[in-house]
Amino acid sequence: MKHTTDILVIGSGIGGLTFAIKMATARPDLKITVLTKASETESNTKYAQGGIAAVWDENNDNFTKHEDDTMDAGAGLNDPEIVKMVVKEGPQRVKEIIDWGARFDKDKDNEYQLGREGGHSSNRVLHFKDLTGWEIQRALAEKCNDLPNIRILEHYFVLDLITQHHLGRIVTRVTPDITCYGAYALNKKSKEIETYLAKITFLATGGAGQVYKSTTNPVIATGDGIAMVYRAKGRIANMEFVQFHPTALFDARRRNSPDFLVSEAVRGHGGILKTRDGEQFMDKYDKRKSLAPRDIVARAIDHEMKVRGEESMFLDVRHFEPGDFATSFPTINEACLEAGIDPLTQMIPVVPAAHYICGGVVIDHKGATSIRNLYAAGEVTYSGLHGANRLASNSLLEALVFADNASEAVGSMIDQVKPETGIPLWNAKGTTEPDEMILITQSTKELKEIMSSYVGIVRTNIRLKRAIDRINLLNLETEELYKSTIVSPQLFELRNLIKIGYLITSSAQMRRESIGLHFNTDYPDKLGFREITYK
């Protein structure tokens, strides 16, 4: 089945829905189709607890301070011009989603409460309790549903971007001549693979945390967008910078994915990291102690766990005023109680977990990728904002700014784009579940173990070599299975995760330095910036 639309948006998180709203509002004559592989409200955005950073209190904060904090957290590998652009445009973008219905917490004087997280020198994080992402997702979804030219299709798994490859014109390396014409998507209900042709395709598929055994990302975060662009010979950069959130809730009774995130806002509110015997330890690693940037805190917790032989470290909030923790962080409080932990009387056990990919599909300041007519925003991208480590609560801001910039760029050129004709249908008739599902599930488990054991918070050359050898073998086995098996979502997710594992590991091998989120004990010193792009 073949469909045509003016704009195809892949992903229904903050980046995808903001772009769709902007385009639908500016151009009511355009038909906009949003594909999401789960439900409309299931995205990485939904799980963002802490908030969204923007300069709000100009008496105590300014753009320069936010820029400096972002550059410092990113170890100076950020693009300074991109940092300036995002920080300067950020407050206006936040005001827009407030106008669209997003709510943020206010104090008794009806002023917005501004939180502070690791790496921030001022209070500038707007939040809705500990459900900020959920609240933003709600507001954007409701706004989309009010716009008649936006159609959101749930339970569509996008398999591949349509480019010259599907027209028989083989491209073997990164080139500016590649063009995107839409995408092939599996309708998970009908089991049919449908063709969606579009003048413009917008990629907002989120992250890839499911490549690791422990992650705060939802099960849908399998790196689909990055893997699709890689297969299409688009530019991918800096995949070695994987941010591990320092404080995921450790529940020894239940180790399911995703791990529950204990927001950094808890430390911004006064929570203190301690050992089991109540000793503070962060002062040994950074003068900012528990409010140091995430890469530093995650490595510190990882080191303390290893030298002490512990399964976790602990976050102490017992000194909070009675009722303060439950009021400020109701979701976290409930999760702790369900795990048998009373934060009023017990320290919260925490461990680092894969949280955010700072690399991804290379975009310019307008959100344009290296593939013509393909734009992107959010965690799927490498924009230059985060550098070697993302500053807390900058991710939602990044998605808003680049979605806005992309909408302006697309609005000025979409009428000149001529639809491609002669696009073939997908070369498979429907889908069935593979006969050997055990091969897929076991390979997925094996990949997660490889990445967690060898390409985690601390790396060495020998670990990376072992990882790449095993990933290459998994890739060969999985591609053979792909050739002999009719398409299934589980198989495609495995293929995508293997590509992500390969990109992270090979990128880590090429970066012969320790900086930001990439820490290799064989290269202890920072050597300088070098963007790593795959060709």
Any idea which residues carry the catalytic annotation? 294
Distance CA 362, CA 533 (A): 9
3-state secondary structure (DSSP) of residue 480: helix
Sign, CA torsion 191/192/193/195: negative
Distance CA 409, CA 401 (A): 13
DSSP state of 283: G
DSSP state of 424: P
Structure tokens, 203? 């990629």
Tokens 């680092």 correspond to: 352
Burial 70-89 (b: 16+ CB within 10 A, else e): bbbbbbebbbeebbbbbbeb
For residue 481, the one-letter residue type is L
Q: What are the angstrom distances between the C-alpha of 243 and each of 353, 378, 379?
A: 8, 15, 12
Structure tokens, 156? 């569509």
Q: Burial level of 172, CB count in 10 A (0-12/13-18/19+)?
A: exposed
Tokens 């918070």 correspond to: 457
Q: Which of 449, 532, 534, 433 is nearest to 492 (CA)?
A: 433
Residues in CB range of 501: below 8 A, 6 or more apart: 211, 447, 450, 451, 455, 467, 471
For residue 36, the one-letter residue type is T
Distance CA 228, CA 374 (A): 12
Q: Burial level of 393, CB count in 10 A (0-12/13-18/19+)?
A: buried
Structure tokens, 195? 């063709």
Chain-centroid distance, C-alpha 442: 25
Would you tell me the crossing angle of helices 63-73 and 80-99 to the nearest 10 degrees? 120
Q: Are 236 and 361 in contact (CB under 8 A)?
A: yes
